[in-house]
A and B are shown apart, each in its own frame.
Chain A
């Protein structure tokens, strides 16, 4: 997990996405404990309020839950939930832009599909 201060995304979003990635790759497992706010903020040298803001996004989405006095854990079913969310984002970010650019270049949907297959083969 990496945080870039040059990145256009606010740091708290990067924290949330970094944790999501770690859950998707299995670095943080479902029902397992994740590092504390202190650990995140010390590690990335950020204000604890920023780390908390990022983690709270995931708490609101039901990806992370807090146990008072114990710590923070990955919710059961989080991986599936994240995959669905990322698929939606994949469509919005990549597919929509791809089609927009393809229209400018007058590439047909058949042609795009062939290109995608070629991409998978390479």
Chain B
């Protein structure tokens, strides 16, 4: 099967279980959101996929072939990670050329064009760049490698609003013209909500949601109105969160609501991905 398949992966660090029997797959040419709170296990999972960590149990298959110590399989993947792994004195231009050595389909002209769009000076040493420009530098490589699978781990770290916008636009443009598998792991959920097609939520080393974005958001509603009306209406429903502001109440409920059963004074709204994420991953119940 084409795609990246993660099968029954477990990983512990000393006493801590970082991943517990995780199985998911990233299909060809889809955009995924990989979401989780700090320490949920996202980076551990990404590091296992790219051979930077060895799993205790389970396996990762890339296009049906084991990814472990398999450089042909690894060349199909590009991981934009948090760490900068370039030598001290290497400037931007030299580092791009180095990327081309490893990824044969690397598009040098496109990379230079992106550097220009983002205002990145390729003569500067990579190690001397600010946090934002380090992110930009890594974004440029990730968008130019032309591998079938590209993972973005916190791609917009330190980027201002203009550069974030530019990144999302270039990503969509690239994907639309030449589809590839995109996995976005980020804390800025709202910004990617309309871009991702599939959503995976990881919590305490386990997958708690793995669904299409559209389907997940159709699984529930927000119910708002005066506190007493809302309480009456949501009785017996699966309520996953409640916000109150003075006498107003807004409840997040899962399940179907018959339009005809909604009384005056109660307003039904659609679920918002960020709110749903917060409710699903909030442990201080």
Q: Interface residues, chain A, CB within 8 Å of chain B?
A: 5, 8, 10-11, 37-38, 41-42, 44-50
Q: Are A45 and B168 in contact (CB under 8 A)?
A: yes
How distant is B28 from chain A, measured CB to nearest CB, in Å? 14
Q: Are A38 and B270 in contact (CB under 8 A)?
A: no
Q: Are B270 and A48 in contact (CB under 8 A)?
A: no
How distant is B117 from chain A, measured CB to nearest CB, in Å? 13
Q: Count of B residues near A, CB < 8 Å?
A: 17
Q: Are B194 and A38 in contact (CB under 8 A)?
A: no
Chain A facing B: main interface SS: helix
Selected interface stretch from B60-68, B129-137, B170-178: B170-178
Q: Are A5 and B177 in contact (CB under 8 A)?
A: no
How distant is A10 from chain B, measured CB to nearest CB, in Å? 8
Q: Are B194 and A46 in contact (CB under 8 A)?
A: yes
How distant is A92 from chain B, measured CB to nearest CB, in Å? 15
Is B215 interfacial (CB 8 A cutoff)? no
**Contact for A42 among B31, B172, B194, B270, CB less than 8 A:** B172
Residues of B within 8 A of A44 (CB): 194
How distant is A28 from chain B, measured CB to nearest CB, in Å? 20
Known: A42-B169, A45-B169, A47-B31. A5 touches B176 (CB 8 A): no
**Contact for A47 among B169, B194, B269, B270, CB less than 8 A:** B194
Q: Are A48 and B193 in contact (CB under 8 A)?
A: no
Give the 8 A-B CB pairs with smallest separation, nearest first. A38-B176, A48-B176, A46-B194, A42-B173, A42-B169, A42-B172, A45-B168, A41-B172
